[in-house]
Amino acid sequence: MKKYITTIMFLACFMTVGQKKEIKKAEKLYDSGDIQGATELLKSNETLFNNADEKVLLQKTYLEAKIDQANSNFQSSYEKFLKYKSSGGKDTEYDNNILKLTSDIVNSAIEDNAEKKYKEGASKLYLAYTIDKEINQDYLYYAASGSVNGSDFEKALEYYNQLKDLKYEGITTKYFAKSIESGEEVELSESEYNVYKKTKEYSDFREEKTDSRYPEIIKNIALIYAQLGQNDKAMDAVKLARQSDPKDLNLILTEANLYIQLNENDRFEALMKEAIEQDPNNATLYFNLGVVNAQRGNTEHAKTYYNKTIELDPNFESGYLNLVSLILEGEAPIVEEMNGLGNSRADNARYDVLKTERENLYKECVPILEKLVSINENQEAVKTLMNIYGTLGNNEGFKQMKSLLQ
């Protein structure tokens, strides 16, 4: 029995020595840059490590974490680093390795963004944030932006709401100085700023705080809720955002768009006018006011807004088409009355008056349509103008438009 116990102890000791030997071999391969060799060695000795003691397993986990990092398996790498530390690992280089891991993750995300792989980049930036949620909050902000660029609005909303809960502002200090040689102001890093203050190469040193990102975050939350069709949440968010930045044009338009979806045209029109105060040369804002007023039967106001749209942007095709459509709406009651007339002298006289009114409507549309056709031969405009020319007896104009259609 004693000999049997001794044999078991000898085998255990032998296995432990073997395990340590293989770990050291793998570590040497890793240190030499042979990542594949280190990976294969660990895999080929997988059975050997099945019953390894805690110390050997810690070494193996730590090495696997570094191998995963080298292979850009960042999530797995971080999980193994955490497992190593939580199990009692105390390597003096652990903190430096975590910093290096964070740097590798961020650099990989930058490469993803350069290749327009925004979702992948955002996921990596979020991982970088989770590694140190106190220091790396900027990465959460960039993860949210990347998710928007990748049209992953659900994930972007999740990240932006986290930023809102953190009351993240992202305010940084920028450093500037004027070059004595060129006379131009340049931006410097903090270290450069501190060094150059002690030299005579620069003058007029100044510091500048960046704006808080918090209002932008609240605005983006509102915009995303609106994008996702969650109007109630969007309205709550946009009202909160406008408290911090009441003159932001995008916020005004977002709120206005929500009111349109809720069929609250009065509030929409008020916000459009508020938006015009911020951007008086924006043709789209006048066009929107034209649409709302046309829907509400305010024909003259609608015409005024459509004409202003065209004045500000002569290439705004919808402005021309909506204006013509609005003018031609006056044709329906004229035709209805004409069809209801009899054959009396009075009815015939009235018919002639109505016919002239109808022709005048057409004549009012002609220069508008001709202008639009001259811009890019809009086919809808060409067809409408051809029909008007036909009704007015302008055969030459009719033929010209017909040829444009063909």
Q: What token pair was written down for 334?
A: 């004229």
Q: What pLDDT is stored for residue 237 in this prediction? A: 85
Backbone angles phi, psi at 57, to 5 degrees: -65, -35
pLDDT of res. 155: 96
Tell me, what's the pLDDT at 274? Answer: 87
- Closest Cα to residue 326, out of 296, 354, 302, 355? 302
**Which residues partner with 186 through β-bridges?**
177
What pLDDT shows up at residue 278?
85
pTM score of the predicted model: 0.64
Per-residue confidence in pLDDT tens, the chain, 406 aa: 444 444 444 344 444 555 667 778 777 888 888 888 888 877 766 765 666 677 878 888 888 899 999 999 999 999 999 999 999 988 899 999 999 999 999 999 999 999 999 999 999 999 999 999 999 999 999 999 999 999 999 999 999 999 999 999 999 999 999 999 899 999 999 999 999 998 888 999 999 999 888 878 888 898 898 888 888 888 888 888 788 778 887 778 778 877 877 778 888 888 888 888 888 999 988 998 898 888 888 899 999 999 999 999 999 999 999 999 999 999 999 999 999 999 999 999 999 999 999 999 999 999 999 999 998 888 999 999 999 999 999 999 999 999 988 6
The per-residue DSSP string of 232-293 comes to HHHHHHHHHHHHH-TT-HHHHHHHHHHHHHTT-HHHHHHHHHHHHHH-TT-HHHHHHHHHHH
| pLDDT at residue 15, as a whole number | 47
Separation between Cα atoms, residue 304 and residue 275, nearest integer Å: 17
- CB count in 10 Å sphere of residue 189: 10
Check residue 22 and give its pLDDT. Answer: 74
Going from N- to C-terminal start, the domains of the chain cover 2-91, 104-166, 173-209, 332-405
Task: Report residue 268: phi and psi, to 5°.
Answer: -60, -45
